[in-house]
Chain A
Amino acid sequence: MSDAFLSVRNLYFTYDDGIEALHNVTLDIYRNELFVLFGPARAGKSTLLRLCNRLSDLSEHTERQGAITLNGKDIFAADINISALRRRVSMVFAIPTPLPGSIHANLVYGLKLAGIRDKGELERRVERSLRQAALWDEVKDRLDTSALALSGGQRQRLCLARSLALEPEIILLDNPTSGLDPISTATVEESLYELKQRYTIIMVPHSVQQAARVADRAAFLLNGELIEVGRAERMFVHPQDQRTEDYITGRFG
C-alpha cells in the first residue's frame, strides 16, 4: 500500500462544555479507499470528520492537540488556506441542506467562489457532478427551479453533487443516507462504488450493516477512543477487540 494520504496523529479534541470527543486517535487513510468510521453515539465520528477540513473551527472554545496531515502537509499550519482546504476535502452533511436558490445556483456556488468564471467549464462541472451523484436524469430539465423543491433523497444527492463539482480529493460523508428510504439508500450506496474510483471517501455510516456493505477499511470508535482499525472483510467477520465484536453483534449501541 502507498503512503498515507490523510494521517491523523495522537488527536485529542475537547468541546467547550468539557466533553472530550476524541482521545488520542491515530489512523491513516489511503487514496481511493472508502474508509468508514463507525461506533455508537458520542463516539467522536462526526467530530473527527469535521476536523478533516477544519469545520471544527466553527465550534468555539475547543481544546485540540495532535496533528492531521493531508499529503504530508499539516492542515492546522498557520499558512494553510482554509477555503482551499475545504474545496479539497469536501463535506456532505447528514441533514441535506440545499442553499435557497436554484439547483444550478447550488452547484456553481462554490465554483464561482473558487474563481471559476468560464461558462463552459461551469456547465461541464454541473453536468458531470450531477451524473456522478445519479441525479442528472431527474433534474436535467429543471436546473433553474428551486433546490428546496427536491425530495429528501434528491436533496442528499444534490448536496453530494455540490461537493463533487468542486472536484475535491477527499469526500467526507456524514451519514449520507439518514432519513432516506431503502431505494434511495441503495442508489447512494451504488454511487459510492463509482466515486471511490476517483475520490477518497471517509464516511460515517447509517448502521453497522451499511458499514459492512460499503467499506474497504473501517475504524471502530468508542467514547472518543479508537478501538480497532482494519480491512472491512476481516473486521466485520473476525473483530480482534471484544468491544468491537460486542458492538457489531448488537450487544450494545
Chain B
Amino acid sequence: MSRQQANKLAVGVLTVVAAIVVIPILLVIVYVVWQGLPALSWAFLTEAPRNGMKEGGIMPALLGTILLTLGTAIVSFPLSIATAIYLAEYAGDNRLTRWIRMAIVNLAGIPSIVYGLFGLGAFVLFMGFGTSILAGSLTLGIMTMPVVISTAEEAILAVPQQFRTVSLSLGASRWQTIRYQVLPHALPGIITGIILGLGRAAGETAPILFTVAAFYVPELPRSIFDQTMALPYHLYVISTQVPGMPLQIQYGAALVLLLIVLSFTLVATLVRTQMRRRREW
C-alpha cells in the first residue's frame, strides 16, 4: 500500500468512526423534535397540567427548572470561582492542595443519585430545609462545582504568565493582578464552564428527586422553602407513573428539556467564540 493509499484509508476510517459517534445524538434530537413539535404551543408552555396531567401544559415544571438553575448558579459560582482562583493563583503544591484536587476529581465522578441522597441527608433532614428549592439548589450546586472549578482553573492558568509578572512589576498587588489582568482574560473560559455546569444541573433528575421535586403541586412556589415541580422529574413522572398519558405531551416535555439543555451549550459556545475573537493576544 502506498503512502497516499494508507493516508486515504486512515482518513476514511476516522471519518466513519466520527460519524458513528455523531449519528446517535442527531437521531435522538431529530426523533424528539419530530415527536414533540406538534405538542409545542404557547399554551403548553404557560398552562399548568390538568386532568391528572393528561391535559394542559408544563408551566410549573418549566418555572421550577428555571428557579433551580438560578439557585444552582447562586450556590455554585461564587464558591467554584473562589476555589479556582485559590488553586490556580495562591495555593502551592502541598499536601492540602493535593487533597483538594483529589477531592474535586472524585466529586466529578460521583453518580448523581449519590448527590441526591447526600442532599436529602445534609440539607433536607440535618439542616432542616425540608424538601425545598433551597435544598435542591444546594444539592445541584455542589454537583456542578467540580466541572466549574476545573474549567475555571484551566482558564485562569491559560492566561500568559508574563501578564502577571508585568502587572506585579508595575506595583500591582497579587489580588489587583488577578482582578485586572487575569480574571478578565480568563472570563470566556470561566463562563463556558459555568454555562455547561448549569446545563447539566437543568437536566438532572436524581439530585432533585429527594430534595425538591414535587410530583404535582397546583400552585407555584412562593419561597425558597417551597417544593416545586421540575422538568426532568416531571418528564420521568409523566413517562412512567401516569397510566394513559398521551405520548405527545411526553415528547413535548422532553423537547422543551432538550431545548433548554442544548441552548445552554449553544450559548456557552457562542460566548466563547465571541470573546475569543475579541481577545488580542
What A residues does B180 contact at CB under 8 A? 109
Pair B171/A114 contact, Cβ less than 8 Å:
yes
Q: Is A247 interfacial (CB-CB < 8 Å)?
A: no
* Chain B residues near A166 (CB-CB < 8 A): 170-171
CB-CB nearest 3 A-B residue pairs: A110-B170, A87-B171, A83-B171
Cβ of B170: which chain A residues have Cβ within 8 Å of it?
86-87, 90, 109-110, 113, 162-163, 166
* Range, interface on chain A: 20 to 34
B265 at the interface (CB under 8 A from A): no
Bound CA span A86–B165, Å? 12
Q: Check: A250 CB closer than 8 A to any chain B CB.
A: no
- Asked whether A97 and B163 contact (CB < 8 A) given A60-B92, A109-B180, the answer is yes
Chain B residues closer than 8 Å to A87, beta-carbon distance: 170-171
- Among A58, A97, A109, A148, the residue within 8 A (CB) of B280 is A148
Which B residues lie within 8 Å of A58 (CB)? 165, 168
| Most A C-beta atoms less than 10 A away, residue of B166, B173, B279 | B166
- Structural contact, A110 and B172, CB atoms closer than 8 A: yes
B169 touches A100 (CB 8 A): no
**Known contacts A95-B162, A97-B163, A99-B163; is A86 also within 8 Å of B185 by CB?**
no
Chain A's nearest CB lies how many Å from the CB of B178?
A: 13
B167 within 8 A of A: yes
| B46, chain A: closest CB distance, angstroms | 45
A84 contacts chain B at the CB level, 8 A cutoff: yes
Q: Determine whether the beta carbon of B168 is less than 8 Å from that of A86.
A: yes
User: In the complex the two chains form, is B172's CB within 8 Å of A100's CB?
Assistant: no
Taking the nearest CB of chain B, how far is it from the CB of A82, in angstroms?
Answer: 8
Residues of the B chain whose Cβ atoms lie less than 8 Å from the Cβ of A83: 171-173
What are 29 A-B contacts defined by CB distance under 8 Å? A55-B165, A55-B169, A58-B165, A86-B169, A86-B170, A87-B171, A90-B169, A90-B170, A91-B169, A93-B162, A93-B165, A93-B169, A99-B166, A99-B167, A99-B181, A100-B185, A100-B280, A109-B172, A109-B180, A110-B170, A110-B171, A113-B171, A113-B172, A113-B173, A114-B171, A146-B280, A148-B280, A159-B166, A163-B170
Q: A86-B170, A86-B171, A166-B170 known; A100 and B281 CB under 8 Å? A: yes
**B96-115 interface bits toward A, Cβ cutoff 8 Å, 1 = contact, 0 = none:** 00000000000000000000
A91: which B residues are within 8 A, CB to CB?
Answer: 169
Does B165 lie within 8 Å of A100, measured CB to CB?
no
Residue B241 lies at the interface, judged by CB distance under 8 Å to chain A: no
Q: Report which B residues bind A (CB closer than 8 A).
A: 92, 162-163, 165-173, 176, 180-181, 185, 279-281
Mask, A141-172, CB within 8 Å of B = 1, is: 00000101000000000010011001000000
Once bound together, how far apart are the Cα atoms of A159 and B280, in whole Å? Answer: 17
Residues in A lying within 8 Å of B, measured CB to CB: 53, 55, 58, 60, 83-84, 86-87, 90-91, 93, 95, 97, 99-101, 109-110, 113-114, 146, 148, 159, 162-163, 166
Apart from A86-B169, A93-B166, A113-B172, list 15 A-B contacts with CB within 8 A.
Answer: A55-B169, A58-B168, A60-B92, A83-B171, A83-B172, A86-B170, A87-B170, A93-B165, A95-B162, A97-B162, A97-B165, A100-B185, A109-B170, A109-B180, A166-B171
Report how far A159 CA is from B167 CA in the complex, Å. 12
A55 to B177, CA, bound (A): 14
A residues in contact with B163, CB < 8 Å: 97, 99-100
Known: A100-B185, A100-B279, A100-B281. A84 touches B171 (CB 8 A): yes
B167 touches which one: A90, A95, A109, A114 (CB < 8 A)? A109
Least Cβ distance of A95 to chain B in Å? Answer: 7
A131 to B163 Cα, complex, angstroms: 25
Nearest CB of chain B from residue A89's CB, rounded to whole Å? 10
Chain A contacts of B280 at CB under 8 A? Answer: 100-101, 146, 148
Contacts of B281 in A (CB 8 A): 100, 148
Q: Which residue of A lies closest to B279 (CB)?
A: A100
User: Is there contact, CB below 8 Å, between B176 and A113?
Assistant: yes
CA of A95 to CA of B162, assembled, Å: 9
Bound complex: CA A170 to CA B181 (Å): 25
Q: Which residue of B lies closest to A113 (CB)?
A: B172
Report how far A199 CA is from B171 CA in the complex, Å.
18
Provide the residues of chain A in CB contact with B171, threshold 8 Å. Answer: 83-84, 86-87, 110, 113-114, 166
